[in-house]
Amino acid sequence: MDIPRIFTITESAHRIHNPITPEKLATLGAALRLDPGARVLDLGSGSGEMLCTWARDHGIVGTGVDLSPVFTEQAKRRAEELGVADRVRFIHGDAAGFVSDAKAKVAACVGATWIGGGVAGTIELLSRSLLPGGILLIGEPFWRQAPPTEDVAKGCLAHSIADFLLLPDLLASFGRLGCDVVEMVLADQDGWDRYEAAKWLTMRRWLQANPVDAFAKEVRAQLTSEPVRYATFTREYLGWGVFALMPR
């Protein structure tokens, strides 16, 4: 069980696999007013930065589930490094359908809502692990500005304009799904640069270390085209945020 190898290559040096920065992740943790001992579930936990830093800063206990063995290993190492290995647990596996036995105060899926088949399905899935009065966290892209054409949406690596909503429409959609939006922390273009531009140096170094790897051609092509594609499309058109929701 693994994710496509290209992600493991391009994001191998990332601690956060999303446009949110360490500072904004800390802002989010503080905004949620987490109590020590609060249980946090994270589906698609990546390299575990959210759970590990919140365990260190707020004393939460956490469980993360992720399909990537490489990222899950990184998460375990990060927990050791931050001295929170006794408080956070990282499980390698498919999070689709994952419901925790111990209900959580916070149930999150940050930048991986395909796990529940989209935002609506992910809210439904996370709700099954949530304590009454708990908070759902959804990390999701939205359009900063409406793409004028379908080609612009594709330039942002979306399938179509319909993949994402404008921010007010996304917030309204949470209401229609029966949730109050109780907090949000939005990424900005600098955060997008940290997520996207960090891949370029990783790719360049990987190519230097693996010149004859079967994947080298694909990585070479991405490194050549990505900076201009990103600056033309994603950086201008795509927003991203983490939304805190409470079922009504």
Interface residues with ligand SAH (CB under 6 A) are: 3, 16-18, 44-46, 49, 65-68, 71, 94-96, 110-112, 115
Task: Provide, rounded to whole angstroms, the least separation between the CB of residue 86 and ligand SAH.
Answer: 22
Question: Percent helix, strand, coil in the chain (nearest 5)?
Answer: 45, 25, 30
Largest CA distance in the chain: 55
* Nearer CB in complex with ligand SAH: 94/169: 94
Is residue 50 classed exposed, middle or buried when 0-12, 13-18 and 19+ CB atoms within 10 A define those classes?
Answer: buried
* Nearer CB in complex with ligand SAH: 109/153: 109
* Nearer CB in complex with ligand SAH: 202/220: 202
* Nearer CB in complex with ligand SAH: 17/87: 17
The residue number whose beta carbon is nearest to ligand SAH equals: 46
Task: Provide, rounded to whole angstroms, the least separation between the CB of residue 128 and ligand SAH.
Answer: 15
Task: Report the amino acid identity of residue 13.
Answer: A
Is residue 209 classed exposed, middle or buried when 0-12, 13-18 and 19+ CB atoms within 10 A define those classes?
Answer: exposed
Task: Provide, rounded to whole angstroms, the least separation between the CB of residue 166 and ligand SAH.
Answer: 22
Please check whether residue 71 is in contact with residue 101, taking contact to mean a CB–CB distance below 8 angstroms. Answer: no
* Nearer CB in complex with ligand SAH: 45/63: 45
* Nearer CB in complex with ligand SAH: 117/148: 117
Task: Report the amino acid identity of residue 101.
Answer: D
Alpha helix locations (H) across the chain? 5-10, 22-31, 49-58, 69-81, 119-127, 150-155, 167-176, 189-209, 216-229, 235-237
Task: Report the amino acid identity of residue 225.
Answer: S
Task: Provide, rounded to whole angstroms, the least separation between the CB of residue 33 and ligand SAH.
Answer: 21
Please check whether residue 153 is in contact with residue 160, taking contact to mean a CB–CB distance below 8 angstroms. Answer: yes
Task: Provide, rounded to whole angstroms, the least separation between the CB of residue 209 and ligand SAH.
Answer: 22
* Nearer CB in complex with ligand SAH: 3/197: 3
Task: Provide, rounded to whole angstroms, the least separation between the CB of residue 95 and ligand SAH.
Answer: 4
Task: Provide, rounded to whole angstroms, the least separation between the CB of residue 71 and ligand SAH.
Answer: 5
Please check whether residue 43 is in contact with residue 19, taking contact to mean a CB–CB distance below 8 angstroms. Answer: no
